[in-house]
């Protein structure tokens, strides 16, 4: 699928991996709707990139708000690409050092945003894409964001790893479900990336995280995530794949 002339929906599109994806798709001739809760950053991105980008404030767990964002994308042209980058992560052990159990509502919240939110976008975007005219048999592609924590979740990541494991787990059945309507589904499992989530860490800690990555020994650049999204969109034979983007990192227990 050619990116040029297509419209994309990118959740978490105002910063980090999502922002880098918006920038890459626009640089390749596409248009994008950046979906985020951060209105200030989202409006700033749309102002910077001009008519090619629209910002819509929306919560990925809301069916109505996501549908409104999809409607905004379809108003710009055929929605053919959807990328889910919105997510959260809080550290908590199953049983804390003080003997207290993991907060139940916190676990549910992580699952709701990272997994259910991704599915919400997937189902609504796929329904919209199914109405597109097929181009070489394709009507759209959906890229969800997992994490290497789905495979090697660390201490304190039980909620996060479970949510991202769910994203991995739904990739194959979603791709099979949508094969008849010509919509592909893939997932990217990033390692340690230089995103706003890590920006608050001391430089010493950031350097240590980068040094732990085998090759290249640095944090991932969000632009590298955006480049992989663009490749998935343009490579019609990539379907039901979960691609690790991690510099060969295999996380230890801590």
Cα-based distances in Å from 106 to 109, 117, 222, 230: 5, 15, 27, 33
In the predicted structure, residue 199 carries a pLDDT above the cut 90: no
For residue 247 the two structure tokens come to 């510099």
> What number is the average pLDDT over the span 125-139?
97
How far is 81 from 24, CA to CA, in rounded Å? 13
Average pLDDT, the chain: 96
How does pLDDT run across 136-195, given as a tens digit for each residue?
999 999 999 999 999 999 999 999 999 999 999 999 999 999 999 999 999 999 999 998
> Could you tell me which residues come within 8 angstroms of residue 135 by beta carbon, excluding any fewer than 6 positions away?
1
To the nearest 10 degrees (0 to 180), the angle between helices 16-27 and 222-234 is 50
What pLDDT was estimated at residue 206?
Answer: 82
Q: Which phi-psi region, left, alpha or beta, contains residue 16 (left: φ > 0; alpha: ψ -120 to 50)?
A: left
In the predicted structure, residue 254 carries a pLDDT above the cut 90: no
Coil vs helix vs strand at 55: strand
Band of pLDDT at residue 129, cut at 50, 70 and 90: very high
Catalytic residue positions, numbered: 160
What pLDDT was estimated at residue 205?
Answer: 80
What pLDDT was estimated at residue 204?
Answer: 83
Share of the chain above pLDDT 90, in %: 92
In the predicted structure, residue 14 carries a pLDDT above the cut 90: yes
In the predicted structure, residue 18 carries a pLDDT above the cut 80: yes
How does pLDDT run across 92-110, given as a tens digit for each residue?
999 999 999 999 999 999 9
How far is 223 from 214, CA to CA, in rounded Å? 19
In the predicted structure, residue 196 carries a pLDDT above the cut 90: no
In the predicted structure, residue 200 carries a pLDDT above the cut 80: no
Coil vs helix vs strand at 100: coil
How far is 24 from 201, CA to CA, in rounded Å? 26
Cα-based distances in Å from 52 to 13, 23, 32, 121, 174: 14, 10, 6, 21, 29
Band of pLDDT at residue 201, cut at 50, 70 and 90: confident
For residue 118, give the nearest of 9, 253, 199 by alpha carbon: 9
Band of pLDDT at residue 207, cut at 50, 70 and 90: confident
Phi, psi for 240 (deg, rounded to 5): 60, 20
Burial of 13 (0-12, 13-18, 19+ CB in 10 A): buried
In the predicted structure, residue 58 carries a pLDDT above the cut 80: yes
Burial of 75 (0-12, 13-18, 19+ CB in 10 A): exposed
- Sheet hosting strand 31-36, strand order edge to edge: 53-57, 31-36, 7-11, 79-84, 140-145, 183-190, 242-245
Residues linked to residue 36 through DSSP beta bridges, in sequence order: 57
Domains delineated in the chain: 7-245 (3.40.50.720)
User: Strand ranges (DSSP E) for 138-190?
Assistant: 140-145, 183-190
In the predicted structure, residue 60 carries a pLDDT above the cut 80: yes
In the predicted structure, residue 47 carries a pLDDT above the cut 80: yes
How far is 132 from 39, CA to CA, in rounded Å? 30
In the predicted structure, residue 240 carries a pLDDT above the cut 80: yes
């Amino acid at each position: 699928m050619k990116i040029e002339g297509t419209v994309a929906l990118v959740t978490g599109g105002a910063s980090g991996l999502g922002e880098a994806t918006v920038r890459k798709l626009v640089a390749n001739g596409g248009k994008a709707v950046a979906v985020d809760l951060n209105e200030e950053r989202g409006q700033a991105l749309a102002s910077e990139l001009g008519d090619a980008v629209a910002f819509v404030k929306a919560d990925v767990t809301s069916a109505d708000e996501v549908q409104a964002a999809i409607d905004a994308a379809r108003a710009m042209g055929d929605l053919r690409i959807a990328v889910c980058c919105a997510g959260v992560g809080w550290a908590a052990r199953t049983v804390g050092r003080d003997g207290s159990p993991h907060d139940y509502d916190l676990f549910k919240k992580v699952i709701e945003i990272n997994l259910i939110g991704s599915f919400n976008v997937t189902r609504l975007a796929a329904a919209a894409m199914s109405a597109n005219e097929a181009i070489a048999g394709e009507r759209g592609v959906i890229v969800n964001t997992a994490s290497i924590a789905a495979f090697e979740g660390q201490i304190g990541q039980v909620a996060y790893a479970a949510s991202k494991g769910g994203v991995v787990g739904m990739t194959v059945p979603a791709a099979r479900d949508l094969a008849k309507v010509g919509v592909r589904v893939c997932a990217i499992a990033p390692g340690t990336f230089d995103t706003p989530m890590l920006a608050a860490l001391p430089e010493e800690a950031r350097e240590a995280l980068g040094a732990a990555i085998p090759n290249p020994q640095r944090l991932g650049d969000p632009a590298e995530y955006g480049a992989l999204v663009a490749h998935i969109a343009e490579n019609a034979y990539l379907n039901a794949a979960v691609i690790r983007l991690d510099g060969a990192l295999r996380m230890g227990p801590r």
